[in-house]
Chains A and B, each alone.
Chain A
């Protein structure tokens, strides 16, 4: 079963190269290839749930010769939930892009870059080695920069450039910190570092962890490093915005940070506090900035920032319920936000605008998209019976349980701000008198992912016990295992 693991990296990579080759030969088939690849990836991620016995870890050793500090691919509860949702959303995005990207030149390149971004994402999720983490982080990031600027107009290039600069600085901070880790322990392997890290070096540990928080915080758009996100997620093609907001900031940002903080080093009290403060601030900043937005996608982008704050603050609480709330919210947001962005793309495609002032009354003319938008808005605002309700509630309860009433209030306020923003969205675009005109019907390939995601938001909300037992709890257990993760690998 462990043979499956490298496939998550090899398959999208080979598919991307194949697409470039086909494109060079002027042959069609890029679209089919991309969709086949993403279906396979999602199916494997799902299938692995049946093959991986509960609460165990799958390992795959890459270096054929078992050198000390062998390069591992690791699949535990935390990686698995991210792997599952990332490949699922990627599949949805691939379907959606069939029609959405018809209007762009160079569609083959798009699919190649998309698959390469997926390679990066899967690599980051599965790797057990610091340097490999960095390599895949860069693969995903470079593909993302290119995809953000794909439209090649003023706004896209500006957004891509800002994202590039901040993203690279973030990667460099991370690499710098990895250097310190290597200098102190002599190994890049996550498991070995957790065993070999000198226990007494508190000051250095704080420095290294702070560097990681800054670096991955920039990748995750945590305050005060969030400045690049609104431009990047607004100006990119909508399916890419969905993938960026829904997956990348969580995988390349939150997941990597959590893995390093909790499983390799063991989070310290100062760092927890730092994350809590930054997380809480992010919730409010993102919430406030999203309320006044007139551009649908910009509204959603700021809202993503706010939700990341929720996730980080929740995990930083350290209690089982807090961590569960955080992971569950990450999972839910990975379904809700792509739903919303894909809807925004559909609206943009059909009416030609994303400006709320120029839109109105789409409920009669675009019924499916409108219904899905309502689903998504209610879910992200935390209203029952959708999935967002449960995760937000868990987070607030966890904060209260931990005695941190300030945080509970902050999250509640953040939820209210989120609700206000999405009410604006619904009032401005979905309900009310009909404004503007719907130029074309939304193609089926765009509607299918939207409908599927909408039903999932509802379904997960209705079946929370099932989801939490099979998906979320294993992840929580992994985090709680803390440095035990290293011992589990046998230090190898």
Chain B
């Protein structure tokens, strides 16, 4: 079941990255996040499924907002140099071949819920809120600043 969610997520990721129309790309990225929310559902963490969905909707909203308000070109431009493709392909093969044996050693998602306890503590959530605060302050400083006078 989780595997099918992941397959959907992979498709969404491909669309997000490749689509020429940036709006669909933003929605597709939302799709990836939505798959995450579905995964939470599959593990019966209902509150966090909703939370994740909320955050994802926020992210997609921000992405769309920037497309609309700043007149950002909606379509992709020319292709970049072929060398990057080769590098990425080589890296991908390398990564997959190295990671697959490592992944075999990991317990499968089905086993985990019984073995390991939830360990993300309140302190870490606090930390993440701080991170968002930093981002917010950074956003303020970059958007309102007139720079060096």
Contact = CB atoms under 8 A, between A and B. Distances in A.
Direct contact of A and B (CB under 8 A): yes
A145 B138 contact: yes
Nearest to B116: A186
Interface stretch (B18-26, B59-67, B71-79, B97-105): B97-105
B14 to A, nearest CB: 19
Interface of B: 98-99, 101-102, 105-107, 115-117, 119-124, 127-128, 130-131, 133-135, 137-138, 140-142, 144-149
Interface stretch (A129-137, A242-250, A335-343): A129-137
A68 B117 CA distance: 10
15 contacts: A67-B119, A68-B117, A71-B121, A105-B147, A109-B137, A113-B138, A123-B127, A132-B123, A132-B127, A142-B134, A152-B146, A152-B147, A153-B148, A186-B115, A188-B119
A68 B119 CA distance: 9
A184 B137 contact: no
Contact of A113 (B101, B122, B134): B134
Contacts of A153: 147-148
A104 B131 contact: no
Nearest to B112: A183
A62 interface: yes
A188 B117 CA distance: 12
A417 B81 CA distance: 34
Interface of B is mostly: helix
Nearest to A13: B130
A109 B139 CA distance: 10
B145 to A, nearest CB: 4
A152 B102 contact: no
A184 B142 contact: no
Interface string A9-28: 00001001100100000000
A156 B148 CA distance: 11
Contacts of A401: none
Contacts of B106: 180, 183-184
A116 B137 contact: yes
A132 to B, nearest CB: 6
Contact of A201 (B99, B105, B121): B105
A83 interface: no
Contacts of A71: 121, 123-124
Contacts of B141: 106, 109-110, 113, 146, 150
A188 B119 CA distance: 8
What are the 5 tightest A-B residue pairs by CB atom distance, in nearest-first order? A146-B138, A152-B147, A109-B141, A135-B127, A183-B106
Most buried by A among B134, B141, B142: B134
Contacts of B116: 186
Contact of B148 (A17, A104, A132, A203): A104
A106 B102 contact: no
B119 A187 contact: yes
Interface in A50-104: 62-63, 67-69, 71, 103-104
A207 B102 contact: yes
B23 to A, nearest CB: 22
A347 interface: no
Given A139-B131, A183-B107, A203 B102 contact: yes
B102 A142 contact: no
Interface string A278-304: 000000000000000000000000000
